[in-house]
Amino acid sequence: MQSDMKMPLLASLAPDASEPLPWCGGGPVIGIIGSGDFSRSLAIRLVASGFRVVVGSRDPGRVARGLFPDGVEVRSQREAVDGAERVVFVAVYPEHYCTLLRLSERLAGKVLVDVSNATQLNSGERSNAERLAELFPKSKVVKGFNVISAWALQAGAHDGNRRVPVCSDCSGSKATVLQLARQLGFSPVDMGTLCASRDIEEAPLVLFHSWGSPILVTFLLFLFFYGYNFLRHILLPFLDQGENNFYQLPLVTVNETLPAVALVTLALVYLPGLLAALLQLARGTKYQRFPAWLDSWLCVRKQLGLLSFLCAGLHAVYSMCLTLRRAAGYTLVNTAYHQVKAGVENSWVEEQVWRSDLYLSCGILGFGVLTLLAITSLPSVGNALNWKEFTFVQSGLGYAALTLSIMHTLFFGWDFAFLPAAYRYYLPPVFLLALILPCIVLVGRILLALPCLTLRLAKIRRGWESPRHWPRTNQEPRSSEVDNSQKLGDI
């Protein structure tokens, strides 16, 4: 370790400004063992960043001409190792590591960057990087670049994932790779020693990390509301009166389900914040951890918000398609026929006109604000906002979107909730069920905005604690001190 720390990082990792840039062979020589797709993409990125590249292949003659860019030398594996100044990327599958043992002496002292991924999650076995370090004890093994796809390497860091986790037992070699990642335009993240390599190798195998619970909750909500609509509008009328409304299943029933799911999911975004505030008020301190379930809930609010936006967007598209249905045309013709038969010259109903315009306007505004929330959740947009701006958008405009969505639903229902006909088969309309949780959240937010609660919560979040959390001393306080403490705790 001591001798490694005395060694320069890359001899001069950054290309000299006086030297020619890409394609002119002016930078340090980087070696790549392997001639597959990842090796080709990595070579393209290295050459474009001003480095010289030598690729080692088991059979250089079989590598197609023009596969690698100009300036990249395709040699044997031994020649590639000898030609590399210090850094050598190992771009072969882990089962072929043993074939490189004949190069162990030539690789001694060099930095081996392992770019392989795990084949399965939670296997319990040693990571590929740890196995490579055991096979080549005289080399400095660094884990990195495995989370970057071949497409991201070719297209550029800004078109893919910029984060590059890096770990190694050798701090000097790790610093070399961290610096190299910056030179290639990525954002390296120091993950510590090589024991973290298992997590890094498994990262590309994780499917929608942190999205499992939000997707499951949204799916269950969709099943509940879809089943409720099916029971109320299709199954029971068919069993009771023989009405055949099964044609509504693919579009109408889905369109009645999506807004309910979107509204409830949006309420679930802001409910955990209210619960956290109530816990802090009840405890009188911010220094106690939230329950694990609340911590997990707070961490997936972004995912819940995006899923709510997805359901709202689908509802908007489905609603625009309602008039394109063949059933809508038949309904319009039948309505016009009955109106003519009844001798009605003007079917204008002022109340229904106001109702439709109000609920459509609130729906459009709510969807517009929700779209703004979804856009600002993107890292590229959110990073351009300071903390106050981000909080205003995600909290202030978030509650505005929730309020507009509630108003959209209330105007849609109008006075229908007070009519006995709304409770067909003694089942309430679906929009009433969807309003319960959002209204609770909105009322809770209004109550927390009261000065008596807002000021106390602000004090707690600035470090104030209730007297019951003060450290006890051997001396009992006087009665007047107890009274003052109790008064302070009641503020």
What is the model's pLDDT at position 235? 96
Could you give the 3-state DSSP secondary structure of residue 342?
coil
Closest Cα to residue 413, out of 250, 244, 270, 259?
Answer: 259
Give the pairing of strands 111-114 and 52-57.
unpaired
What is the model's pLDDT at position 114? 96
What is the mean pLDDT of each successive set of 10 residues along the chain, which is 491 residues long? 41 39 60 93 91 92 84 92 94 93 94 93 87 95 91 64 88 94 91 94 84 95 98 96 94 96 97 96 92 94 96 96 85 84 85 93 96 89 86 92 96 91 93 96 96 93 86 51 38 31
- Give 81-118 as a DSSP string: HHH-SSEEEE-S-GGGGGGGGGGTTTTTTSEEEE----
What is the model's pLDDT at position 475? 44
d(CA 86, CA 78): 14
DSSP code for 124 = -
d(CA 154, CA 134): 32
Provide the b/e sequence for 2-12 (b: ≥16 CB within 10 Å).
Answer: eeeeeeebbee
Could you give the 3-state DSSP secondary structure of residue 415?
coil
d(CA 347, CA 341): 13
- Give 239-263 as a DSSP string: HHH----GGGTTTHHHHHHHHHHHH
Could you give the 3-state DSSP secondary structure of residue 13?
coil
What is the model's pLDDT at position 26? 56
Q: How far apart are the first and last CA of the chain?
A: 59
Asked whether the beta carbons of 53 and 47 are under 8 A apart, the reply is yes
Q: Report phi then psi at 217, rounded to 5.
A: -60, -45
Q: Is 386 exposed, middle or buried (0-12, 13-18, 19+ CB in 10 A)?
A: exposed
Neighbours of 36 (CB within 10 A): 14
What is the model's pLDDT at position 156? 60
Q: Report phi then psi at 166, rounded to 5.
A: -135, 140
d(CA 167, CA 176): 11
d(CA 408, CA 431): 10
d(CA 404, CA 262): 13
- Report pTM: 0.75
- Side chain identity at 269, as an amino acid letter? V
d(CA 368, CA 401): 8
d(CA 8, CA 176): 9
Q: Which two tokens stand for residue 209?
A: 């990390």
Closest Cα to residue 119, out of 128, 129, 110?
Answer: 128
d(CA 74, CA 49): 19
Could you give the 3-state DSSP secondary structure of residue 32?
strand
Three-state secondary structure of 126-184: CCHHHHHHHHCCCCEEEECCCCCCHHHHHHCHHHCCCEEEEEECCHHHHHHHHHHHHHC
How far CA 96 is from CA of 33, 100, 223, in Å, comes to 11, 7, 48
